Amino acid sequence: MRSVAKGAAGRTARQLGVCPEYAEPAPLAAPRAVTVPGTAPRAVEPVLTAPRAARAVSPAKRTRDAAGVAPGALPLDQILLGDSIQMMAGLPAGSVDLVFADPPYNLQLGGELKRPDESLVDAVDDDWDRFDSFATYDAFTRAWLLAARRALKPNGTLFVIGSYHNIFRVGAMMQDLGFWILNDIVWRKANPMPNFRGRRFTNAHETLIWAARSADAKYTFNYEALKAGNEDVQVRSDWLFPLCTGQERLKDGAGKKLHPTQKPEALLARVLLSATKPGDVVLDPFFGSGTTGAVARRLRRSFIGIEREEAYAQAARARIDAVEPLPEDALIAPPSAREAPRVAFSVLVERGLVTPGAELTDAKGRFRAVVRADGTLSLAGGQNVGSIHRVGALAQGAEACNGWTFWHVEEQGRRHPIDVLRARLRAEMGIAAE
C-alpha cells in the first residue's frame, strides 16, 4: 500500500495560498470569496498523491507545463488534499469531462456534524437559525458549483447526489448558474434503514441530478450500450442498488466503518458508464473514501479527487491502488449507429453494391423506385427524383423518412433494407466505428 505523498510535496515551502501552478485566474469562479464555516482556510497545502512511483509528479516539476490547458497539466489519478473550492480553482479551466459530487448536506459548523434533523432548537431562534444555515449552505453550494463549472469542459456534465435535506437547494442553484438539467435520477435503496420512530415513510432513496454545462452542450450519453445491457430497453430514471455494505465497505482499524456515507461502486459504475468514455477525466471534489476513483480506475477512466480529511485520502489511495483495471476489450463500446461514419448512398452505387437501374421497394412492396447513377432515386410512375430519404418521404406522403430502413432491395428472392448493404460496405472498408 502506498501512502499519501505528503512529504514529497514540500509541506513547509508554501504555507498558505494556492500552489503556484494552480494560481491561474479563474474567470467563472465566484467573484468574491465565500467564507463557509468548516471549509474556511486551514493551512491548505495542495498535496498531490501519486498512485504509483512511476506516475508520481511533484508540484515543483509540474510548474513547468502549467501555462496551458494541456491534459498533461492535470493531476490525473491523484488525490488533492485540501479544500474543494480552492483546489478546483487551481485546476485548468475546461479540463474535465465529468464532475461527480457528493457534497455534505450537513453544515459543518465548528467542525461538528450538525444534521438538519437534529436542529430542533428553540422555536424562537428557529427562523433565524434556519435563515443563517440555508444562506450559509447556499453560499457554499454556489461556490463549489461555480468552481466545478469552471473546471468542466464545455461539453462536460455534472452529477450531484443528495437527499431531501440539500438536493432542492443544490438543484435550484444549478439552474440559477446556467446548468441544464438532463435528468433527475433516483437511487432506490434495496436495503434502506427503516424509520425507527414510525413517523415518516421509510427514506428509501437518494436523488442524483445530471446536468450539462449549458442547454446546447453536446454531452456524452452512451445510450446504446446502456440499453443493450438492460434487456434492450432504455434505462429509466429510477435505479435500484443495495447500500454499500459487507466487504465493499471500508473499515478503520477498529473494524468500524471508515466513512459515514460511502457510496456503492455499482452506483458510480452506472454513472461513469453512462456519461463518460474510457480515458475521460472525472473530477470528484468530495472524494471521501474514493469510490469514484476506484470505479474510474477499474473502468479505465482518469480521476481527480479532492478531499480535506487526510485519513480518508490515505484510505482512498490504498483502496484505488488495489484496483485492477478491467481488460480494455471489456470496455469497448458496442457499435453505435449514431457514431458510425457516414456513408452516402452514392458510394454504394459507386462501389457496385447497388447497380444503377436497380429497383427498390418498401418492405411490403407497395412503393417502387429506381436507382440512378448519381445515387439519387426516381419514384416509379412519377417525376420525383431525390435522395433516398426525400423520395421515401414523398412516396408515403410523410414529412420525413429514413431511406436506409425504408427502401429494400431484393437479393436471392429475399428482401433486405438497403441498410444491410451499407453495413456490408462499412465492414469491407474496415470502418467499424471510427
Partner DNA sequence: GCTCGACTTGAATCCTGTG
Partner DNA sequence: CCACAGGATTCAAGTCGAG
Residues 355 to 384 in contact with a copy of itself, rule: CB under 8 A = none
Q: Which of 199, 256, 342, 366 binds a copy of itself (CB under 8 A)?
A: 199
Query: Does 390 participate in binding a copy of itself (rule CB under 8 A)?
Result: no
For residue 100, what are the β-bridge partners?
159
Stretch that binds a copy of itself, among 215-223, 255-263, 305-313, 321-329 (CB under 8 A): 215-223
CA distance 365 to 363: 6
Contacted entry of a copy of itself, DNA, none for residue 112, CB cut-off 5 to 8 Å set by kind: DNA
- Cross-sheet strand order for the sheet of 359-361: 385-386, 377-379, 368-371, 359-361, 408-411, 414-417
> Do the beta carbons of residue 116 and residue 175 sit within 8 Å?
no
The secondary structure of 2-43, three-state, reads CCCCCHHHCCCCCCCCCCHHHCCCCCCCCCCCCCCCCCCCCC
Residues 67-106 close enough to bind DNA by CB under 7 A: 102-106
CA distance 356 to 353: 10
- Cell match 498533461: residue? 72
Stretch that binds DNA, among 34-42, 50-58, 86-94, 109-117 (CB under 7 A): 109-117
φ, ψ (nearest 5 deg) of residue 388: -55, -35
| Cα atoms in the Cβ-side hemisphere of radius 13 Å centred on 105 | 21
> Do the beta carbons of residue 306 and residue 44 sit within 8 Å?
no
Residues 125-164 close enough to bind DNA by CB under 7 A: 129, 163-164
Q: Which of 42, 115, 130, 416 binds DNA (CB under 7 A)?
A: 115
x-marked contacts with DNA along 413-432 as a string, rule CB under 7 A: ------x--------xxx-x
Give the 3-state secondary structure of residue 396: helix
Query: Does 220 participate in binding a copy of itself (rule CB under 8 A)?
Result: no
Residues 238-277 close enough to bind DNA by CB under 7 A: 242-247, 249, 256-257, 260-262
x-marked contacts with DNA along 212-231 as a string, rule CB under 7 A: ---x--x-----x--x----
Binding residues for a copy of itself (CB under 8 A): 118-120, 123, 126-127, 130, 134, 163-165, 167-172, 174-176, 178, 181-186, 188, 192, 194-195, 198-205, 207, 209-210, 214-216, 221, 223-224, 227, 234-238, 240, 274, 338, 398-400, 434
